């Protein structure tokens, strides 16, 4: 818990110079022990498209996995954090690395998940999640299909 609090102080510049690299280091120490709040804060730093600091590189897949662990936490005391983590996962659901790491419907991280039959990028853990998320996923799905079609186009091979 003390290491988590040090991470918060470094991230917020409270009593210390703001240092996201040190914050990430302390968060990782506690996140590896299964502390949901540290998993959330580290996941939030890693999932970004642009880094919070050049010394803290983004890693959307790792961030999504950490956030999916938070989403899977049980107990009423974790509910506000679970909802924030799920909101972040959904906010970044258009990033291929994020949707490849966990179910975009509920944030679950399982070995066996179903890929979207259209874009083959997004993953879902159940038919309920597919139905619930289709209206949201539809735009990203169409964009990924178009990108895939453009990279598979025969004209791309002729230009090489």
pLDDT digits (tens, 9 = 90+) for 27-64: 999 999 999 999 999 999 998 867 888 888 888 888 88
Ramachandran sector of residue 60 (left: φ over 0; alpha: ψ -120 to 50; beta: rest):
alpha
What's the Cα-to-Cα distance from 25 to each of 102, 106, 123, rounded to whole Å? 24, 28, 30
Q: How confident is the model at residue 8 (pLDDT cuts 50, 70, 90)?
A: very high
Question: Rounded mean pLDDT of 109-117?
Answer: 80
Question: Rounded mean pLDDT of 70-88?
Answer: 85
Q: How confident is the model at residue 106 (pLDDT cuts 50, 70, 90)?
A: confident
The pLDDT of residue 147 is: 75
Distance CA 23, CA 109 (A): 25
What's the Cα-to-Cα distance from 157 to each of 119, 144, 146, 151, rounded to whole Å? 22, 20, 17, 9
Q: How confident is the model at residue 160 (pLDDT cuts 50, 70, 90)?
A: very low
The pLDDT of residue 27 is: 94
Model pTM above 0.75: no
Residue 133 pLDDT > 70: yes
Q: How confident is the model at residue 159 (pLDDT cuts 50, 70, 90)?
A: very low
């Amino acid at each position: 818990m003390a290491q988590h609090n040090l991470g918060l102080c470094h991230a917020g510049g409270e009593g210390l110079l703001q240092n996201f690299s040190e914050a990430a280091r302390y968060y990782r120490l506690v996140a590896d022990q299964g502390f949901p709040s540290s998993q959330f804060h580290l996941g939030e730093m890693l999932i970004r498209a642009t880094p919070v600091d050049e010394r803290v590189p983004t890693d959307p897949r790792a961030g999504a996995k950490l956030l999916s662990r938070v989403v899977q936490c049980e107990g009423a005391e974790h509910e506000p954090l679970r909802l924030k983590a799920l909101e972040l996962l959904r906010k970044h659901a258009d990033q291929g690395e994020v949707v490849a790491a966990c179910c975009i419907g509920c944030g679950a991280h399982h070995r066996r998940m179903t890929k979207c039959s259209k874009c083959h990028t997004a993953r879902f853990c159940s038919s309920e999640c597919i139905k619930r998320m289709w209206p949201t996923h539809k735009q990203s799905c169409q964009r990924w299909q178009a990108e895939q079609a453009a990279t598979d186009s025969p004209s791309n091979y002729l230009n090489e």
